[in-house]
C-alpha cells in the first residue's frame, strides 16, 4: 500500500530561454518514504529541486506539500513549511563555525532537536568549534546535513550527498540515512548519481531524461526498464 503523498509535483514545466529543463513532469513522495530522483547530467533533477524549494518558479504546473500549494510560499519561508535541502555543491557559511552553521538551521524553524543533539547525531562534535572553511569535503557535507536536520524538517531534499565520498563513506552514508529516517521521522527525496546507493536505499525511484519523466517504480522495476537502461544505466552486457 502506497504512503499518503507528502510532496506532489504536478505537470511542472520550466524553460530557460530555448532550453526545456522540465517538460510536464509529475512525481510524488509519500510520507516516510525514501524516494530517488535519477537521470543523466542535464536531465532536470536540480531544476526540480529548485522549483520545489521555490528558488525557481515553474512556467506551469503546481507543487503541493501536505496538500497545499507551495507556489505562493516565498523561498525563505519554505523551511518554515517543513522542507530542508542540501546542495550539490556544499553551501556553508564558511566564516562561521560548525556549531554556528548548524544553529542557522535551528533558527530557520524552531524544532524539537537541539543544536548539540544534531551535532552529536551527525558525528561532528570534534569539529564543532572549527570554521567550516577548510574542513574536509566529507565533513562539510555532514555539517550541511546537520544544518538541515536542525530545522526539524518533515521532508529533506538531498542533492548528491555521496558526491566526492569514497566507497566506505558511501556505505556509511546509506546506513546513516536509513537510521535517521526512522529516528527523525523524516521523508527523503534523493538526487544521486551513485546507483548502488540509490538502488539499495530508495523505496521508489523516478527517472528523468531531457526534462521528461521516463520511468518510475521500485528500484528493481526501474533497473529493468528498457528506457532507463538506454538513457542512463547503460546497455546490458
164 and 135: one domain?
no
Do 30 and 131 reside in the same domain of the chain? Answer: no
- Among the candidates 152, 175, 190, a domain finishes at 152
pLDDT at 236: 45
Confidence of residue 107 (pLDDT cuts 50, 70, 90): confident
- Clarify whether residues 138 and 162 are in a common domain: no
* Mean pLDDT value across the chain: 90
Residues 148 and 160 in one domain: no
**Phi-psi category of 70—alpha, beta or left, where left has phi over 0 and alpha has psi -120 to 50?**
alpha
Longest dimension (CA), the chain: 51
161 and 212 in a single domain? The answer is: yes
| Amino acid 112: pLDDT | 62
| pLDDT of 234 over the 60 cut | no
Q: φ and ψ at 42, to 5 degrees?
A: 85, 10
Question: Within this chain, do residues 75 and 162 fall inside the same structural domain, yes or no?
Answer: yes
Same-domain status, 78 and 103? no
Question: CB of 54 within 8 A of CB of 75?
Answer: yes
pLDDT digits (tens, 9 = 90+) for 61-81: 999 999 999 999 998 899 989
Most confident of 35-49, 164-178, 219-233: 35-49
46 with 9, same domain? yes
pLDDT at 17: 92
Residue 51 belongs to domain with CATH number: 3.40.50.300
Is the per-residue pLDDT at 114 higher than 60?
yes
Same domain, 28 and 57: yes
**From its phi and psi, is residue 152 left (phi > 0), alpha (psi between -120 and 50) or beta?**
left
CA distances from 171 to 162, 168, 200, 213, 219 (A): 9, 5, 10, 28, 17
Handedness of CA 86, 215, 14, 11 (dihedral sign): negative
Q: What is the mean pLDDT of residues 21-29?
A: 97
Q: Which of 129, 152, 175 is the last residue of a domain?
A: 152
Would you state the pLDDT for residue 237?
36
Residues 16 and 77 in one domain: yes
Is residue 113 over pLDDT 90?
Answer: no
Q: Is the pLDDT of residue 126 over 80?
A: yes
End position of a domain, from candidates 108, 123, 152: 152
Range of the domain at 125: 91-152
Q: Is the domain of 30 the same as that of 144?
A: no
Query: Percent of the chain at pLDDT above 70?
Result: 94
Number of domains in the chain: 2
The predicted structure's pLDDT at residue 163: 83
Q: Which residue has the cell 538502488?
A: 199
* Pair 133, 217 in one domain: no
Amino acid at each position: 500500500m502506497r504512503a499518503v503523498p507528502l510532496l506532489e509535483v504536478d505537470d511542472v514545466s520550466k524553460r530557460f530561454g530555448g532550453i526545456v529543463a522540465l517538460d510536464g513532469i509529475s512525481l510524488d513522495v509519500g510520507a516516510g518514504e525514501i524516494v530517488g530522483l535519477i537521470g543523466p547530467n542535464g536531465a532536470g533533477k536540480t531544476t526540480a529541486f529548485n522549483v520545489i524549494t521555490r528558488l525557481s518558479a515553474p512556467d506551469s504546473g503546481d507543487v503541493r506539500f501536505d496538500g497545499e500549494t507551495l507556489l505562493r510560499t516565498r523561498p525563505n519561508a519554505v523551511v518554515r513549511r517543513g522542507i530542508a535541502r542540501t546542495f550539490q555543491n556544499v553551501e556553508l557559511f564558511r566564516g562561521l563555525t560548525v556549531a554556528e552553521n548548524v544553529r542557522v538551521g535551528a533558527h530557520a524553524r524552531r524544532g524539537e532537536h537541539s543544536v548539540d543533539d544534531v551535532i552529536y547525531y551527525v558525528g561532528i562534535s570534534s569539529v564543532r568549534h572549527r570554521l567550516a572553511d577548510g574542513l574536509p569535503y566529507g565533513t562539510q557535507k555532514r555539517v550541511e546535513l546537520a544544518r538541515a536536520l536542525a530545522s526539524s524538517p518533515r521532508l529533506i531534499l538531498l542533492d548528491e550527498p555521496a558526491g566526492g565520498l569514497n566507497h566506505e563513506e558511501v556505505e556509511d552514508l546509506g546506513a546513516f540515512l536509513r537510521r535517521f529516517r526512522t529516528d527523525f521521522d523524516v521523508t527523503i527525496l534523493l538526487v544521486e548519481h551513485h546507483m548502488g546507493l540509490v538502488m539499495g536505499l530508495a523505496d521508489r525511484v523516478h527517472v528523468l531524461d531531457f526534462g521528461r519523466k521516463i520511468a518510475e517504480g521500485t528500484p528493481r522495476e526501474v533497473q529493468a526498464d528498457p528506457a532507463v537502461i538506454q538513457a542512463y544505466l547503460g546497455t546490458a552486457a
